[in-house]
Amino acid sequence: MGATVIDGKAFAATVRGKVAEHVTRLKADHGIIPGLAVVLVGEDPASQVYVRSKGKMTVEVGMKSVEHRLDADTSEADLLALIGRLNADPDIHGILVQLPLPKHLDEDLVINSIDPAKDVDGFHISNVGLLGTGQKSMVPCTPLGCLMMLRDYHGSLSGMDAVVIGRSNIVGKPMAQLLLGDSCTVTIAHSRTKNLAEVVKRADIVVAAVGRPQMVPGDWIKPGATVIDVGINRIDKPEGGTRLVGDVDYDSCAAVAGAITPVPGGVGPMTIACLLANTVTACCRANGLDEPEGLTA
């Protein structure tokens, strides 16, 4: 019997529906419209696709969408000045600067210039510190989406053994913090972990976020474990062209796991859904209102 497929596309649609309901209540009860500003510097094709998709979905859930598209040679001073204006704008509750930035711009400086309360990507050093110490923060969207799917599938995660493969600041480290917050026993593993297969084999939950296509085979997976595949990698097809794969070998892992996310259609759709959720959360916090239930960590 194969693994249960965790349908991220369907779950993301449910999350966006909850966001839309909360936005409707904010408008009706308080006259507030959550606002999300996205800043894109340069013309990176993938970034342009992401920004268009984010803008479209922001409008679909009833929120205010603002886009600032800047030339690739925009100076750091001009970008920081724009962020300063957005920080001061009471109608903007979330600010996202699309990464990567052109090489002449200091990403850390730019991200840390965003008001932490409006940092809906959860990358500001203050939010990183708050999350790491178990305090209320803005949570990075991809790990938040993974946590939501795990909670939905398992209910309580308390006492489960979780292994996160990958130690990035964007996914691996915050994912580990979120799982610790839900009382998992957490190991952060990576490509240099000794006996990596044995470490992964003991896990009830495996989150693969290492950025290597099909790195995790099925014989690394504990029978019945839940596998969350964060990887999005493009590989060549034998017959020509390319296809998307994750960081786990889907077929062999699905034959052993109890549940698994596919690529595409798993974690990916949850990232934008959680960006919208974070914007509503930021709006509620800014106005001293109750946070939306089920949309935060």
> Which amino acids are annotated catalytic?
54, 98, 121
* Overall residue count recorded for the chain in this entry: 297
Number of other CB atoms surrounding residue 163 within 10 Å? 27
Identity (one letter) of the amino acid at 189?
A
Quickly tell me which residue has 């998709």 as its tokens. Answer: 53
Torsion of Cα atoms, 80 then 85 then 87 then 93, to 10°:
-120
Q: What is the CA radius of gyration of the chain?
A: 19
Give the 3-state secondary structure of residue 24: helix
Judge contact between 207 and 163, C-beta under 8 A: yes
Contact 33, 23 (CB under 8 A): yes
Evaluate whether 119 touches 105 at the Cβ level (below 8 Å).
no
* 215 Cα distance to chain centroid: 21
> Residue 263 contacts by C-beta under 8 Å, 6 or more apart in sequence?
229, 231, 232, 244, 245, 246, 250
